[in-house]
Amino acid sequence: MKAIEKIAQAIRKYDSFLITAHVNPEGDSLGSQLAAAHLLKGLGKKFVIVNHDKVPGHYRFLPHADLIRGKSYVKGKHFDSALVLDCPSLARTGDVKTVLKKIDCILNVDHHVSNENFGDVNWVEKNASSAGEMVYRLYKEMNCRITKEAALYLYIAILTDTGSFNYSNTSGATHEIVSELLGYGIEPYDISKRIYGNKTYADIRLLARSLSGLRVVSDGRIAYMTVRRGLFRETGTNPVSCENFINFARSIRGVDVAVFFREDIRDKGVFHVSFRSTKNADVNKIAASFGGGGHKSAAGCTVRGSFEKVKGQVLKRVIDVIG
C-alpha cells in the first residue's frame, strides 16, 4: 500500500484530529493546515489546529485563520490522531510536541528531505514542491471536493514554498495543479498583494538596515545578511518582518549560497540561520551539521553562541560544502 493510501486510510479510521506544523509558520504550513482542516470538515471529522506561534499579520486575511490556536487551547481535550504537516521533526513543532506525545497515532505528511519519519504513519515526498501540493493529492486520493476556499489555501501553500514558482522545486506537475486551482476563481494579483505587497514602513527600515550590513565572501560565492535582536527594538519590528530578506542576498550574481543570521528576539546569543542555494550546493547538508535541516536548496538551523563565533562556524561549514 502506498504511503498516501495509508494516510487516507488512517483519516477515515479516526474521528478527532489535532492538526499542527512547524514553528514560525509561513504560507505553506498555514495553507496546508487550513486545507487539511477543510478536508476533515468535509468528511465529518472533528479537528483542532494548534501551533506554537501565532499567525503572522500578513496571513490573517486567510478565511478561518482564527481557527489556529495556541497550545493552551487543547488542555483537557482528547484526540484520536494528530496530523503533522510540513514539519521534519517533532522538535520543530515547538511546545506542541508535549501534546503530541500523548496522542497514540501521529500522521506525518511532509516534503523535507531531512524528515525524521517520526510518525506512526509517514508520507514523505521529497520531490513535492510543498506540503500544500501533497494535501491537494490527498483531496484527490480521498475524492474530496475542492471548494474555492480550499483552492485558496492550497494555492497560497504552493505559491509561497516555490518562491512564486521561481525555485527548483517547481515542476510541471506543480503548474498543472495551480492551473486547476485558478479555475476556482481565486485572484492571483490580490493574493500576491496581500502577502508580498503589505510591508509597513518599519519593515522597510529593518530591510534597509539589514542590507547595509550585507557582505560577500569567498570570492563572491557566499553572501550573508544579519539582523540582531536590538534592531527589532530600534525599528519597532519583529521576526516576521524578516520574511524573504534572504532572497536579496541570493539574487546577487555569482552567489552560490546565501545565509541569513537572525538573532532570537527573546533569547540573546541564539541565532536562527537560513540558507538558500542558487546552484548545486546542498544547504540541507550545511544545516544538518548544526542540528537543522530542510531541502537541498533551502534549509535552516539554530545555533547558540556569540555572533562572531556563530558566523565563523557557519561560514566555514558553507565553504567546506561548496568547495
User: Which sequence spans correspond to the domains of the chain?
Assistant: 3-195, 201-322
CATH code of the region 3-195: 3.90.1640.10
Question: In the block, which residue shows the cell 531541502?
Answer: 295
> Which pLDDT does position 166 carry in this prediction?
87
| Helix, strand counts (H, E) of the chain | 12, 12
> Which pLDDT does position 75 carry in this prediction?
85
Do 3-195 and 201-322 have matching folds?
Answer: no
Are 35 and 153 in contact by the 8 Å Cβ rule? The answer is: yes
Distance separating alpha carbons of residues 188 and 298, to the nearest angstrom: 24
> Which pLDDT does position 278 carry in this prediction?
86
Classify domain 201-322 at the CATH class level: alpha beta
Distance separating alpha carbons of residues 46 and 15, to the nearest angstrom: 6
Tens of pLDDT, residue by residue over 93-131, are: 999 999 999 999 999 999 999 999 999 999 999 999 999
pTM of the predicted protein model: 0.92
**Is residue 279 scored above 80 in pLDDT?**
no
**Is residue 165 scored above 90 in pLDDT?**
yes
User: Exposed, middle or buried, 238 (CB in 10 Å: 0-12/13-18/19+)?
Assistant: middle
What is the arithmetic mean of pLDDT over 278-292?
Answer: 91
Neighbour tally for 96: CB within 10 Å: 24
> Which pLDDT does position 177 carry in this prediction?
98
Distance separating alpha carbons of residues 258 and 275, to the nearest angstrom: 6
> Which pLDDT does position 156 carry in this prediction?
98
**Is residue 175 scored above 80 in pLDDT?**
yes
Whole-number average pLDDT of the chain: 95
> Which pLDDT does position 314 carry in this prediction?
98
Are 71 and 96 in contact by the 8 Å Cβ rule? The answer is: yes
Tens of pLDDT, residue by residue over 210-244, are: 999 999 999 999 999 999 999 999 999 999 899 89
Distance separating alpha carbons of residues 32 and 169, to the nearest angstrom: 17
